[in-house]
Structure 1
């Protein structure tokens, strides 16, 4: 990395803007490019901080100090590394919190999901009130779909349902309210309508928990 160095005091400057600012404050006008490494040297006599060996030599000549310098470069680098790491962690926490808040807001915008789920289950129950076994079978299948996604959200096979599957059609697909219930859980019909699919980023545990609660409590 090529830096600018003041020829009057030896200080290292990272940019022309820093050199301009330094010149305004010191009236120094002599600058040159250098590849001398930056460091953190502290004068033992007055605690002045010098940015490189050249600056420390200038300081010794002008001040007459002979106590030498402490090289705290490694210590400062470590402090900056920790500060940067903490900053990144903080940003990561803020980003995660932002995502969670966005999810909560999205859930709040969904008008009474639990109520709509309950209506779907009531529709199934009312349309087949003379066939209790059919209602129980439908609820059992729906509950299995919900529980599988809750337990294994990263497994795509549990987030994908073939609509034309004969067993699915018999127990859920052909029942008014069945597919609607799954859509409220987060499943979406794919283009062409061949599958019901729940994208990983749309797996909301709050919604699935609510769905399971409604399935457990359907009378």
Structure 2
């Protein structure tokens, strides 16, 4: 089969003639061409009659204009390719007046007549003269609205700003409008609705992008704040460790000074130096004497204080958590004191997430509530304070201990 196209061996593009191959070589610097039996496609859009040379070109045309129907006229236009480069001659040179040197009178092309009043209105609206003339010609000089609609539909055409030309001796008038005025109005409404929806979609997309950006910035700010809090917490822990170490060294110095003073007094009195090993047996004797004394049992207030001290010591690395637990306990007791007849203030579900996070999961939290009179009931699911067991003195003492624990910075340190 004879070749019907030239194929670029570098990029695979099909070309109809030697002239196209030369232009392609100048633009791309490709030089590897071979004769091919594969014809260049000729897909003609049924809507606007635009020819497309490839499937990719027709897809781009569909994406740009929305036209989807094409007629394949490849076989109608295909012909064997000539590998002879055409020679320019005087007969083939176009003359500016529209004729050619071949001697045959070429048909003269002129700008079609359009409605001048509508043309002036279109120009006043900001449309170029060529685009306005083309719109009036192809919309049949029907109306200003029809011309504007044509411009909207064909604004992406590559030749939209070229002045239209028609044969001078053509008796065929401008194409009549294919749509009735009612259909034109409906079409214009559809176009406006489509433009409105497109604008709304774009605004929604931009809003989503802005929301994503706000979320990203918010996350970065939260992460920065968290890191700052972690660094501050570490700094406080280091300061406390340094203070404790300094306090330990100071106590050690005081103890050494006491030992030195004691040794100096023994020397002045003429006593021999104290033997540390000999002094140890006397300790059990003293303890035995003390054990013979009656021991006073700890009061509820002391037990509460010890319970709060234990809670703070156990969770000393998180002051905020300890303070929140103390404030929560104070709130529970305050509600009972102010509303002793309200059962909802005297009954606490142990599985409640807020109670567990603030009190229940901390060492000593539930024990403190039990010291205030609360009892476990219903299989350990609730803490309940019976109405007849409310002791105002105990509640007040517990409140005083909680206030001291919250306000005294040295509470539980020793």
Name the TM-score, length of structure 2 as normaliser.
0.26
More strand by share: 1
Tell me which of the two structures has the higher relative contact order, counting C-alpha pairs closer than 8 angstroms and 6 or more residues apart: 1
TM-score (norm 1): 0.49
